[in-house]
Structure 1
Amino acid sequence: MQNSDLQRLVESISIEYFDKPFIHEARFNHRLRTTGGRYLLNSHDIEINPKQYETFGIEAIVDIIKHELVHYHLHIEGKGYQHRDKDFKLLSEKVGAPRFCEMIPSIQGYKYTYTCKKCSQTFLRKRRVNTLKYKCSKCLGEIAITKVW
């Protein structure tokens, strides 16, 4: 997904759920680490973490966009746009915007995923493991690296 695709998606979600246009810029920001997206107060732009799309797919992005659009539309209208405000809570519930997005495993500190070749047990590790030296703790089968975040 490119920034132009994201822009069209944000505009369509804004019309569909809020009945109001989104007239500013939406873009991916690769520097976001601990958040799914953010609404910028000064420029009224929305930035989305592309790792959310890569990890969880389009459904996660739609939820994040809805959440950020709640901030956007309330701020533009001069209403309470912060998480603690009543206006924010009501509009979030109305459009089905989640309060939080799902955590990306690499943010939690796990960088490597290993799987047992015998019993399919998975192991999350922060550091790389020598697969020749270590075995599965469940069945003593061989383990192999399956994903590097």
Structure 2
Amino acid sequence: MSNEELQQWIEQVSLRSFGVPFRHKASFNGRLTTTGGRYFTKSHNIEINPRQLTMFGREETEKIIKHELCHYHLHLAKRGYMHRDADFKQLLARVGGSRYCQSLPGAQARKPLPIRYKLVCVSCAMEYPRKRKPDPRKYRCGRCAGMLKLLVLKESGK
């Protein structure tokens, strides 16, 4: 399926399910790994993961399109368009969109970084574990406002 066909498909779904036209750009983005689609609040464009279409078919992809169109139409209407908003949840349930897309095989979430550094307060010995190397001159202790000292727990293997 080409980007032009996707554009027409999204325009049809928008008119059929929402009764309002989709007037912006829709395209496939093969770089999306853990998500089925994406809505951009600044440009109002929508991107869809093409692997969702090839792995799970048109029905699941249409649910993803409806999900992104919920963001789109609610944002343009200046209503709650975020996942946590009641307006979004109600509209998504009404049009039959999916809350979450199916996981693609081989797509894994990144492992969190191990704790390699620790900031220690010179005055009260309060410890602050860190994954990335902080600059101790930028921070003060949250308990006593004392100066912090950087301790290296593990050297990064760069």
- Alignment map for 1:80-99 (pairs within 5 Å): 80-99=80-99
Give the structure 2 partner of residue 139 of structure 1.
none
Q: Give the secondary structure class of the aligned counterpart of 1:33.
A: coil
Report % sequence identity: 53
Q: Trace 1:1-149 onto structure 2 (pairs within 5 A).
A: 1-108=1-108
Per-residue deviation, residues 38-78 of structure 1 (Å, max 9, x unmatched): 00011000000001011111111101000000000000000
| Shift in Å, 1:89 | 0.7
State the Cα distance separating 1:108 from its structure 2 match.
Answer: 4.3
The normalised TM-score by structure 1 is 0.71
Which protein is bigger by CA-based radius of gyration? 2
Helix, strand or coil: the match of 1:47? strand
User: What is the Cα deviation at residue 106 of structure 1?
Assistant: 1.4
Q: Displacement of 1:99 after TM fit?
A: 0.3
SS at match of 1:57: helix
Q: Secondary structure at the match of 1:99?
A: coil
Shift of 1:30: 0.9
Q: For the residues of structure 2 that align with 1:106 and 1:3, how far apart are their CA atoms? A: 25
SS at match of 2:60: helix
Residue 105 (structure 1) shift: 1.0
Displacement of 1:34 after TM fit? 0.6
4+ aligned runs moved over 2 Å, structure 1: none
Q: Which residue of 1 aligns with 2:143?
A: none
Task: Output the CA distance in 2 between the equivalents of 1:76 and 1:43.
Answer: 11
1:80-100 Cα distance to aligned partner (Å, 9 max, x none): 000000100110111011100
Distance across 2 between alignment mates of 1:55 and 1:44:
26
Alignment-mate amino acid for residue 84 of structure 1? R
Q: Give TM-score, length-normalised by structure 2.
A: 0.67
Corresponding letter in the other structure for 2:91? L
| Partner in structure 1 of residue 116 of structure 2 | none
Listed as ranges, the gaps of 5+ residues in structure 2 are 110-158
Structure 1, unmatched stretches of 5+, are 110-149
Question: Over aligned residues, Cα RMSD in angstroms?
Answer: 1.0
